[in-house]
Chains A and B, each alone.
Chain A
Amino acid sequence: MAVVNFCSLLLFSAVFRVLLIIYGEWQDTHMEVRYTDVDYLVFSDAASLMASGRSPYERSTYRYSPLLAFFLMPNSVIHPAWGKFLFSASDVLVGLLIHTILKLRGVPENLSTYCTMVWLFNPFTFTIGTRGNCEPIVCAIILWIIICLMNDNIFQAAFWYGLVVHLRIYPIIYALPIVLLLDPRHFESGKKPKLTAWSFRNIKSGQISSSKKFAGESHFWLTLRNIFTWRRIIFGLISAVVFFICTGISFYLYGWDFLHEALLYHLTRTDPRHNFSIYFYHIYLHYEQEFTVMEKLISFLPQILVQLVLVFRFSRDLPFCFFTQTLAFVAFNKVMTAQYFVWFFCLLPLILPWSKIKLKWQGLASTLLWIGAQTHWLMWGYLLEFKGKNVFIQLWVASIVFLAANTYILISIIQNHIYSPVYRRLDHLVSDKTAKHD
């Protein structure tokens, strides 16, 4: 198998993205349908307002942190495509970070490179950045947090975590698995925790018995007993401080507009307009009346239940836990748009080396199923939005089908995953040494 040079790959990806940005500029000027994402125009307007000393929230539908508008201020000074370059650079950086994580976990060079290509050459992801969507920045920060945690750099992990929750809120779902990962049984004083190598994934040693104990009945009580360790306190404290400082400054500068648009809107969002979520038609049909507490609870229950189970089962295999959590979170969310898929696409390459799913044919079939279910939804969405046909019921059924496809794929991924904790536990290391000594 020929070795693909990773640096050449990154360079090629970067050049490809530059060409796409240039093409996008051309399409915007010459064609009726714009290449640029409509959100990018919102960011740009908000950045322009900020550059002129006004509030970015004067731009309606700007629902992000003021930091994003701040980063895009050069749009009105240097070039309108500045932000696209920034997002695409983050997109390439995500590729680099994926490769770094896989190398840290001992995945062979070739396999790491191929997995990274799943991100770099995913048509969905490279168009996201070049069309001007900000998600690659969030993805890059999340991957950097994983690297910091693997390197036992708790301070930096906490700082970036606080920042990313301020930027995009949804990474709050990662708080619990991170806290659980910082289990004192992984850390020896004054030493970095040992990482479980990829080659270690097929262990059949006596560790199993101790793992079983860990994963079984004592796990919950041990977690409770060890909850207040300095790593956890430091992580919680620093991330909370960073989050509240960023949020506080934003509130000081832009007041309730910021709080409503960038924070409360996302927490309470119930969109009656069509989107991939199974809930959209239910919300539309009941939008004229208030939702009952029972309705709110029932719609929240599947989400919270799945999140908790995934976290308590898989938190030690952090990238896998993040991936399953994110996919489930998006699938059960009350609002689901295509840009949310990037949230788990950036984590997918991190779990592929531990998956028993073969590209031929199960992998290919799953991919086609996911694309097929989405295309089916898009067809009805097109008929409703662009042809004016009354196909609400068909569109809603397509949402249910898409949820079924997501569920099937998530279950397949879980069933075929070789569970591999990020850190090796200290008692495992001791037992290894003893075994070697014997």
Chain B
Amino acid sequence: MEIQHSQLQFCLILGFALMVSVSEGKESCVEKYISKGYFEKKSNLDDSEFDNYVKHEISSCSCQLPKDNLNYPPRLLTLHRNLMGEGSHRRLSSSIRLESEHSLQSCEGIIIEKLPSGVFADPFELQHLVHRKVFSDAAVFGDSNLELPSFRSNRSVVEIHTEISSGEDINSNQMEIKIELPLHARYPPLGEGFAKVKFGIPDIFLRCSSIQGNLDKCGYMPRKGEGPKSVDDVWEVPCGNKEHQGIVSVVTFTSAIISASLIVFTSISHSTLT
């Protein structure tokens, strides 16, 4: 599904952050995980507060970007989203194409998914993918209880760090980020038929290490996303029907009592003599 630029209510952020080598023993301008700082201050995810955090906290970073990058930041060309699979365990695929005047070979892409309350990502499953080198790194922040239904749980944020590959045309300045994020549906509130879970647009960052190894230079530049987006990311999750409450309770307890009575009767009437 194609959506217009003006329809984009979600903040799509494309930024740069120069990664400071940990081995040099200097503090990074931006933490390993961008989202971590937000959840150190807040316990629940709120979209506008998170956007403010990104806007003020991350961009207030005192380090500076190299001049070239400041003048010609990478441009977002396309964003394709697709929910793959069926049922309660699905994969949210994101394909992001970027254009840059400069090589992004020394950069990693950071995708931040602010998950709606009906779904969650299993941090241990993500770690498994990190071990298999599917992602460079991954972390989940927010509600870590994997078992609660959506009406008893809070939202969470998934942060994926991944490599950037060259576009199809090697000579062009286009780069591509592709990820498939495994997600699981929580039990939705009672309703009729299906509950709809809709995803927002992810925040996208680039974190690059300085080629010259100039470690005190780092920075961050958020800006609104541009370019065509294609999304097919509405997840329909089956939900329990409130109208079933009465009949289910009556039949459940009746069948339990009948079964128990039959067992009790058989046990008492069965002779313990041979």
Which residues of A are interface residues toward B (Cβ below 8 A)?
41-42, 45, 59-61, 201-204, 208, 211-212, 215, 271-273, 278-279, 281-282, 284-288, 295, 298-299, 301-303, 305-306, 309-310, 313-314, 316-317, 324, 328, 331-332, 384-393, 396, 400, 403-404, 406-407, 410-411, 414-415, 417-420
Residues in chain B near residue A272, CB distance under 8 A: 149, 187
Residues in chain A near residue B272, CB distance under 8 A: 211, 215, 313-314, 316-317, 419
| B254-272 vs A, Cβ < 8 Å mask (1 yes, 0 no) | 0111011011101110111
| Highest count of chain B CB atoms <10 Å: which of A60, A203, A418, A420 | A60
CB pair B124–A388 under 8 Å, yes or no, is no
CB pair A331–B259 under 8 Å, yes or no, is yes
CB pair B238–A390 under 8 Å, yes or no, is yes
Closest to A310 in B: B267
**B5 interface hit (Cβ, 8 Å):** no
Could you say which of B123, B124, B236, B266 contacts A414, with CB atoms under 8 Å apart?
Answer: B266
Could you say which of A279, A299, A392 contacts B240, with CB atoms under 8 Å apart?
Answer: A392
CA distance A417 to B273 in the complex (A): 10
Residues in chain A near residue B245, CB distance under 8 A: 285-286
CB pair B86–A387 under 8 Å, yes or no, is yes
Closest to A277 in B: B252
Residues in chain A near residue B271, CB distance under 8 A: 419
Please give 12 more A-B residue pairs, beta carbons under 8 A apart, in addition to A284-B187, A302-B257, A309-B264: A60-B124, A285-B244, A288-B189, A386-B86, A390-B194, A393-B248, A400-B252, A414-B263, A415-B270, A417-B270, A419-B271, A419-B273
CB pair B270–A299 under 8 Å, yes or no, is no
Q: Could you list some 25 contacts between A and B, CB below 8 A?
A: A60-B145, A208-B274, A272-B187, A273-B147, A285-B190, A302-B256, A302-B260, A309-B268, A310-B267, A314-B267, A316-B272, A328-B263, A332-B259, A384-B238, A386-B87, A388-B238, A390-B239, A391-B238, A400-B255, A403-B259, A404-B255, A406-B259, A414-B266, A417-B270, A418-B274
CA distance A421 to B266 in the complex (A): 19
**B152 interface hit (Cβ, 8 Å):** yes
CB pair B267–A313 under 8 Å, yes or no, is yes
Closest to A287 in B: B149
Residues in chain B near residue A407, CB distance under 8 A: 259, 262-263
CA distance A316 to B238 in the complex (A): 49
Which residues of B are interface residues toward A (Cβ below 8 A)?
86-89, 123-124, 128, 144-147, 149, 151-152, 187, 189-190, 193-194, 236-242, 244-245, 248-249, 251-253, 255-257, 259-260, 262-264, 266-268, 270-274
CB pair A282–B268 under 8 Å, yes or no, is no
Residues in chain A near residue B256, CB distance under 8 A: 278, 299, 302, 332, 403
Residues in chain B near residue A309, CB distance under 8 A: 263-264, 267-268
Pick the 5 closest A-B CB pairs, nearest first: A302-B260, A390-B238, A386-B87, A407-B259, A419-B272
CA distance A139 to B237 in the complex (A): 38
Residues in chain A near residue B252, CB distance under 8 A: 278-279, 281-282, 396, 400
Q: Given A215-B273, A287-B149, A309-B268, answer yes or no on A392-B244 (Cβ-Cβ < 8 Å).
A: yes
CB pair A211–B187 under 8 Å, yes or no, is no
B271 to chain A, nearest CB (A): 7
Interface of A is mostly: helix
CB pair A45–B244 under 8 Å, yes or no, is no
CA distance A416 to B193 in the complex (A): 46
Residues in chain B near residue A42, CB distance under 8 A: 124
CA distance A316 to B267 in the complex (A): 14
Counted as pairs of residues, one from A and one from B, with CB atoms less than 8 Å apart, the total is: 158
CB pair B193–A390 under 8 Å, yes or no, is yes
CA distance A41 to B131 in the complex (A): 13
CB pair A389–B238 under 8 Å, yes or no, is yes
Residues in chain B near residue A212, CB distance under 8 A: 273
CB pair B87–A411 under 8 Å, yes or no, is no
CB pair A273–B266 under 8 Å, yes or no, is no
Residues in chain A near residue B270, CB distance under 8 A: 313, 414-415, 417, 419
Closest to B247 in A: A393
Q: Given A273-B187, A286-B245, A309-B263, answer yes or no on A211-B238 (Cβ-Cβ < 8 Å).
A: no
A422 to chain B, nearest CB (A): 13
Residues in chain A near residue B263, CB distance under 8 A: 306, 309-310, 328, 407, 410-411, 414
B45 to chain A, nearest CB (A): 18
Could you say which of B144, B236, B262 contacts A411, with CB atoms under 8 Å apart?
Answer: B262
| Highest count of chain A CB atoms <10 Å: which of B145, B193, B267 | B267
CB pair B266–A392 under 8 Å, yes or no, is no
CA distance A400 to B236 in the complex (A): 27
CA distance A308 to B272 in the complex (A): 16
Q: Given A387-B86, A414-B267, answer yes or no on A404-B274 (Cβ-Cβ < 8 Å).
A: no
